[in-house]
Amino acid sequence: GQLDTTCHAFVGETVVLPCTTTPPGELALSKSMLYWQIGTKQLVHFFQNGQDSLEGQDEKFHDRTSLFLDQMKHGNFSLKISNVQLGDDAEYSCIYRQTESHQTKKSTIKLNVSGK
């Protein structure tokens, strides 16, 4: 699909992959799902029913990802990745789905990682 934005980071840094929508009013996070993934198989971060749900998370991202939970209801789905590694260089998909309306928003963010 179409690439929405490209981010750059050095190994060891913290990077924020931007993903936002402009909701009319506040989003009902209890009725929302948010996937951050690489390709179709590799799950980077998953949020559902108002909370993080990381059972299926790829273990290389374990304890390195977080969302801006206080800003999500205003449409900020950006993902923070700490201690960036060369292997994090990839195209990331941010997929937001509303459970009831099945409305889906998807954007693609390329992360370019450089060594020091």
55-62 mean pLDDT: 96
Structural domains in the chain (count): 1
* CATH classification at residue 10: 2.60.40.10
34-48 mean pLDDT: 96
Res. 100: pLDDT tops 80: yes
pTM above 0.85, yes or no: yes
Q: What domain range is 33 assigned to?
A: 5-114
52-69 mean pLDDT: 97
Taking alpha carbons only, the member of 50, 47, 51 closest to residue 28 is 50
The whole-chain average pLDDT of the chain stands at: 94
For residue 87 the two structure tokens come to 């292997």
pLDDT (tens digit per residue) in 14-26: 999 999 988 888 8
**Alpha carbons 56 and 52: distance in angstroms, whole number:** 11
Strands 42-48 and 90-98: unpaired
54-81 mean pLDDT: 96
Neighbouring C-alpha atoms within 13 Å toward the C-beta of 6: 5
